Every structure is written in structure tokens, then in C-alpha cells.
Amino acid sequence: MTTLTLAKALNEGLRRSMEDDPKVLLMGEDVGKLGGVFRVTDGLQKDFGEDRVIDTPLAESGIIGTAIGLALRGYRPICEIQFDGFVFPAADQIITQLAKMPLRSLGTLKLPVVVRIPCGGGIGAVEHHSESPEAYFTHTAGLRVVACSNPADAYTMIQDAVRCDDPIIFFEPKRRYWDKAEVDLADPGLPLDRARVVRPGRDVTLVAYGPMVKTCLEAASAAEEDGRDIEVIDLRSLNPLDAEVLTESVTRTGRCVVVHEAPVFTGFGAEIAARVTERCFYHLEAPVLRVGGFSTPYPPSRLEEHYLPDLDRVLDAVDRSFAY
């Protein structure tokens, strides 16, 4: 067991992937000499060379387009999008090429490309640096979309993503980069497409992913003082979605609250709410409720604490569920 921050766990997972397969490449803005703005790739260019850890121009569309070409030639590129709001110039390559080419070729072409995206707010950043764009990509058929929430998952999930032959959008919760936890470097972890019950409970199910998992765990601990036993699920994979874990939990608790940083309106929580309602309708004691950001552009940093879902907003939704 080793104590690692989430950023260092990703670094160790990337290092292990590059050691295991010489075809694995890292590419992105400032990922080499600087080690990335969050130091996730720190030391990798020094150890693996400039041919495998590549500092690219400031051109996200070019980064993804180049990665597609490399994947077609047998490489396994890992692309870093420096901040979540920078991914949109690359959307054309991701949506019209990366997601569609395997089916376009009837499966004869594989595109094992991982697109790493630091996501979410909470770091006091300027505009375009605190977005939650997951719903754009979960709606894009042909992409896997995953989100780690803790160091142990970060370490195993990034390795699983690199080994996968499908294109993967890999979300990293940037305000959790410095959270520390024990990581068993010998533990292979759960399969990449499985959800995890991170806190068992019997009264209500909280569903979250990425940065909101920690917030939900804090809310569950606070609710325990009021005698409520809350179950918390970390989805880990958004597409494909592990509906079986959701169904089992909500069938047992009868209540469900979905939490994410992105705006509630047409956010990924809407899919969770619909899926749970379809599968658990006769077991629900209340409607599935959603907690998220407001339907506004992400605000200036001095206002973000009012925008981001916090413990009180999560517990308010739990109270509303019990009011039915």
C-alpha cells in the first residue's frame, strides 16, 4: 500500500502503461518538460524520451487528429486536453472521426485513443477552465466515457483505458488532484465499466461520479447524525452505464438522488433518472431527484462556491425525497 495523491496515482498508472507497452505515447500541451499544468505527467518525458512524451502545439484538433493517425498505425496514444473548456476545438475530430471510424470500417480498424480531460470547477480558475462537458460525449455513440474519483481508481482505470481498443474520454476531477489515499499497486481494481458502492446504506441512494463522489460521502456522513443511512454509488463509467448496480440499490432503498457539477437541465443525471425510473418504478417511494449546477455559464471564481453543489444542497434533496 502506498499513499498517493490522485495526480500522482495517474502519473504512476501512466508510467506503468508506458513500461508495459512501447506503443503507448503521451501527447499534449506542456505534458513533457513541464510535466503538465497539474504535474500529472511529471518526469515521464525524462524517463521515456521526447519521442514518446510529446509536447504538442496549442492545437487541440491537431492533437486528436494526429492521435487518430497514430492509432491507425498501431500506436496507443494518450492525449491530454489541458483544461475541459479547451476540448471543443477538438470536438469535430472526436465526434466525426474518432467515435465513428471503427463502425465505419465495420470493426476492421481499431482506435485505442485515450483523451484525458481535467474537468469541473473548484480551483478558482478563469473562464473556460471549469467546465463539465461529459453529456456531450456520453451522447456520442462510439465513445466510452469514464470518470475517476479517487487515487486508487485513478491508478487502475487509466491503465485499463490504455489497454482498451475503444476510444475513451477519461475525465479527471481537477479539484481532487491533491486528495490523498492509500493505493494498492498490486490490486487490478474493478473492470472499467463497473460502478462501485462506496458506502452501503438502506434509506436512500446517492449517485455521483468524479468530483461529486467525495461531496456525497460527506453528505452521507452528516446525514448519519440525523439517523439516515445513505448509500453512495460511484458510477466510474458513464458510457457504458452499469445499470445493474443502480437497479439493485434503488430497488432496496426506494429513493434516489443524482448529483453532478454540470447544469441539471439535460445533464447526465437526466439519463440516470430516466433509467432508474424505468427499472425501479414500482419500488420508488419518491421521484428521482437531481442536484447540479445552475443553467448559467460557469461563473467567475469568486462565485463558484455558490454555483457548485455542496453538502447542504445534497442534503436538501435528500430531505425533499423523504417529504413525499
Catalytic annotation, residues: 129
User: Are 21 and 76 a contacting pair, CB within 8 Å?
Assistant: yes
Number of H helices, E strands in the chain: 12, 14
In whole angstroms, what is the distance from residue 139 CA to residue 275 CA?
15
- Give residues with Cβ within 8 angstroms of 72, minimum separation 6: 109, 111
Burial state string for 3-25 with b = 16 or more CB within 10 A and e = fewer than 16 = ebbbbbbbbbbbbbbbeeeebbb
In whole angstroms, what is the distance from residue 164 CA to residue 110 CA?
10
Packing angle between helix 243-253 and helix 268-280, nearest 10 degrees? Answer: 60
Pairing of the two strands 24-28 and 76-80: parallel
Q: What is the DSSP string of 8-76?
A: HHHHHHHHHHHHH-TTEEEEETT-SSS--TTSTTTTHHHHH-TTTEEEPPS-HHHHHHHHHHHHHTT-E
In whole angstroms, what is the distance from residue 202 CA to residue 250 CA?
9
Q: How far is CA 279 from the centre of its chain?
A: 24
Q: In DSSP terms, which residues pair with 256 in a beta bridge?
A: 205
In whole angstroms, what is the distance from residue 79 CA to residue 26 CA?
6
